[in-house]
A and B are shown apart, each in its own frame.
Chain A
Amino acid sequence: MTARDWKNLVLGSVLLGIAALLPLTGDAYAIALGVNIAMYGVLATSWALFSGPTHYISLATAAFFGVGTYVTASGIDVLPYWALPPLAGIIGGILAGIVGLATLRLSGVYFVIFTLGLAEMIRQIVTWWQNATGHKGSYVLTDLTENHIYWQLLGVAALVYLAGWAIGRSRLGFALRIIGDDEQVASHVGINTAVSKVALFIVPGAVAAIVGAMIAPRYIYIEPSTAFTPMLSFQVVIMAMLGGTGRLWGPIVGVIPFTLLWEVISVSFPNQTTLLLGLCFLLIVYLLPNGFVGLFEKIRARALSKEAYQ
C-alpha cells in the first residue's frame, strides 16, 4: 500500500465514522433519510463495480433486492436474524451467477433486456407460488430499529468500498477494464471474458440481496409488489451514472442529491417521479456523460492546464 492509499483509507474511515454519528441526533426524519441514502449508496456503488468498467447496464438490482427481502421474510421464524443477510448474499450471488452465465456470453443488449424483466418475472413466480400455497404476505417482526438498519448498511458500505478498492487493484479489475474498452482485444490477450464478467457480476447481486435482507424489517409486512419494485433498478442506475462510475466514490456523489430531490418530488408531486427519472436519464446522456465525477475532473484538468500556461 502506498502513502496515498493510506491517506484514502483514513479519510474514508473518518467520513464513515462521521456518518455513523447521525442517529445520535435523534431526528427521526433525518435518520429515515439516512437509511435511504445508505441503502442507495451501497446499491449504486456495488452496481458501479460491475457496470462501471464493463459498460454493461444491469437492471437486475430490484430482482436481487427482492430475493433478499424474501430470504428474511421466510427465514425469520426459523433462523436467527444475524444469519439471514449472509444467507441472502449467498443466494443472491448464486442467482447472479446463473443470470450471468446465461446472458454474459452474449452481447450487451441481451444482458440489458434480460435483467430488465428479471424482477417482474420473479415477482410473477413468487405471487403465483404464494397463491398456490394459499398464503399472501408475511410479517417480519424484529426489535431492530431504524438506527440498527442504518448502522448495518454503513457496515456493508465499508465492505463494498474495501472490496471495490481491492478489485480495482486486482488482475480481475484490470481484466474488466480491458473488456470495457475493447472486448475483442481482451479475448485476444488471453482473458477469459465470460468468466471474468460472471465473477464480477456476482458482487452486485450478492450485495443487493444482503441490502434487501437488511431492509426487510423496515417494511414489516412483505408482499411481492413491495419487494420487487422495478423502479429501484432504474433509480440505482440513474444515481450511479449521475455521480459517475469511473471512480469508487462517484456513485455516492450522485446518490445524495438524487435521494433528496426524489424525496422533495415525491412529497409535493407524487405523480411526477417517473418524469423526473426520464429527464435525468436524458440529462446524463446529453449533458453529463461521465457524471459529476467527469464534470469535476474536466474542470480540474482545465484549471491545471491554465496554470501550466501562466
Chain B
Amino acid sequence: MDIIVTGLLLGGTYALIATGLNLQYGVARIMNLANGEMLVVGGFTAFALYTGAGISPVLTLFIVAPLAYVLNWAIYRVMLRPLVKRAKSRGMLEQESILTTFGLSFTMVGLMLWIFGGSYFKYSFLARPFVLFGDNYGLNRIVAFLCAVIICGALYLWLNHSRAGMAIRAVAVSPESARLVGIDVPKLSAHAFAIGGAVTAMGGAVISTFLTLDASTGVIFTMKALIIVIMGGVGDIRGTIIAAIILGVGETLVASLINPGLTLAAAYGMFILILLFRPQGLFGRKPV
C-alpha cells in the first residue's frame, strides 16, 4: 500500500514535468531535450529563494512561472523559430531541434556548473511526517502532489474549456488546417512552448522540496518525461497524467522491491514494451 501511495505521489510530479514537455512537443513540434535543465533551473530558483530570502517554495511557483514563461518564449523566438522556418519537413525539424536543444541543454548545464558548482542542492522544507492510511509520508511530498494536481487540473480545464485552449489543441492536431481557420500558428506555438517551459520549471520548484538536485541531473528527468510523453501519446494531457502515474508507481515498485539503483532501467523496460506493442501511445489511435 505505501509503495502505491509513494508511487502515486511521485507520479503526480512526473505528470507536471511531462505535461510541460508534451505541450512543447505536441503543439510547438519541438522535441525539447533541454526540458530537464529547465526543471533544474526552477529547482535552483526555489532553493535560492528559500535559503536566501526564506520564501516558501509554494510561493516561489508564482515567481518561477512568469520568469520561465518569458525565458522560454525568448528561446523559442530567437533560437527555434528560425529552424521551424527553414525546415522542409517535420522529420528535418525534429533532427535540428534535437541537436539544438542538446546544445542548449549542455550549455545550461555548463553555465549552472560554472555559477553554482557541481555540488548537490538540498533544503529542508516541511520535512515532517504525515499519516495517511496508517503509514507515514513526508508532508513535502503531499504538498508537492497537491501543487501538481492543481496545476495539471487548471491546465486541463483551460485546454479543454477555453477558446485559447481550443486553438492550441487545433494546432496540435494539424498546424496547416489551423492556419486556414484563422489561427496565428507561429504566435500560438511560441505561446505553447513558453507555457510548457513554465509548467516544467514549476515542476522543478515542486520537486526540489523533496528530491536532491544538482546541475547535471536534468537529463534523467528529460528521459523520464520523454518516456511518459510517448507512453501517454503526443498531445494528450490525460494520457500523460495516466502514464506518469504508471511510471511513478512502477519505479517505486522496482526501487523498493528489487533495488533503488534500477529506477531508470525500470522506466526503460516500460518504454521498450510501449515501443514494441503500442508505439502510438496508450490511448493513441493506430495511424491509418
Q: Do the beta carbons of B114 and A275 come within 8 Å of each other?
A: yes
Of A117, A124, A234, A273, the residue contacting B262 (CB under 8 A) is A124
Cβ B107 vs Cβ A278 within 8 A: yes
- Residue in B100, B264, B268, B275 whose beta carbon sits within 8 Å of that of A285 in the complex: B100
Binds B, one of A36-44, A83-91, A100-108, A141-149: A100-108
Q: Which of B11-19, B43-51, B91-99 contacts A (4 or more CB under 8 A)?
A: B91-99
Asked if A116 meets B223 with Cβ closer than 8 Å, knowing A103-B275, A127-B261, A282-B107, the reply is yes
Known A108-B91, A109-B31, A281-B106: A271·B113 in contact at CB below 8 Å: yes
| Residues of B contacting A241 in the complex (Cβ-Cβ under 8 angstroms) | 99
Interface majority SS on A: helix, strand, loop or mixed? helix
B105 touches A278 (CB 8 A): yes
Expressed in whole angstroms, the minimum distance between the Cβ of A44 and any Cβ of chain B is: 15
* A112-130 with Cβ < 8 A to chain B: 112-114, 116-117, 120-121, 124-125, 127-128
Q: Does A156 sit at the interface, judged by CB under 8 A?
A: no
State whether the Cβ of B129 lies closer than 8 Å to any Cβ in chain A: no
Flag B205-222 by CB within 8 Å of A: 1 or 0 each.
000000000001001100
B164 interface residue (CB < 8 Å to A) = no
Residues of A within 8 A of B216 (CB): 274
Interface status of B153 (Cβ within 8 A of chain A): no
B114 near A271: Cβ-Cβ < 8 Å: yes
* In the assembled complex, B276 has its CB within 8 A of some CB on chain A: yes
User: For B99, what are the chain A residues with a Cβ–Cβ distance below 8 Å?
Assistant: 57, 241, 281, 284-285
CB < 8 Å neighbour of A128 from B92, B106, B220, B259? B259
A295 in contact (CB, < 8 A): no
Mostly helix, strand, loop or mixed at chain B's interface? Answer: helix
- What distance in Å separates the Cβ of A39 from its nearest Cβ neighbour in chain B? 21
List B residues 56-102 near A (Cβ within 8 Å): 82-83, 91-92, 94-96, 98-100, 102
A88 to B57, CA, bound (A): 50
| Nearest chain B CB to A226 CB, angstrom units | 17
| Bound form: Cα–Cα A109–B102 in Å | 13
Contacts of A113 in B (CB 8 A): 223, 226-227, 230, 271
Does B170 sit at the interface, judged by CB under 8 A?
no
Residues in chain B near residue A285, CB distance under 8 A: 83, 96, 99-100, 103
Chain A residue at minimal CB-CB distance from B106: A278
Q: Is the CB of B103 within 8 A of A280?
A: yes
8 A Cβ contacts from A217-253 to B = 230, 234, 241
Assess whether A274 is in contact with B113, with CB atoms less than 8 Å apart: yes
A278 and B109 contact, CB distance less than 8 A: yes
- Is there a chain A Cβ closer than 8 Å to B195's Cβ? no
Answer whether residue A11 sits at the interface, using C-beta atoms and an 8 A cutoff.
no
B residues 110-138 near A (Cβ < 8 Å) are 110-111, 113-114, 118
Is B265 part of the binding interface, using a Cβ–Cβ cutoff of 8 Å?
A: yes
Residue from the set A107, A108, A117 with the largest chain B CB neighbour count within 10 Å: A117
Nearest residue (CB) in B for A271 is B113
Q: Which residue of A lies closest to B33 (CB)?
A: A116
User: Any chain A CB within 8 A of the CB of B108?
Assistant: yes
Q: Are A108 and B95 in contact (CB under 8 A)?
A: yes
Rounded to whole angstroms, the CA-CA distance of A124 and B268 in the bound complex is 11
Name A residues whose Cβ lies closer than 8 Å to a Cβ of B: 55, 57, 102-103, 106-110, 112-114, 116-117, 120-121, 124-125, 127-128, 131-132, 183, 230, 234, 241, 271-282, 284-286
Given contacts A107-B91, A112-B98, 4 further A-B contacts (CB under 8 A): A128-B261, A274-B110, A275-B106, A285-B96
List of 6 A-B pairs having minimum Cβ-Cβ separation, nearest first: A275-B110, A281-B103, A278-B106, A278-B107, A282-B103, A274-B110
What are some 13 contacts across the A-B interface (CB < 8 A)? A55-B92, A117-B268, A128-B262, A128-B265, A234-B106, A274-B109, A275-B109, A275-B114, A278-B102, A278-B106, A278-B108, A281-B104, A286-B82
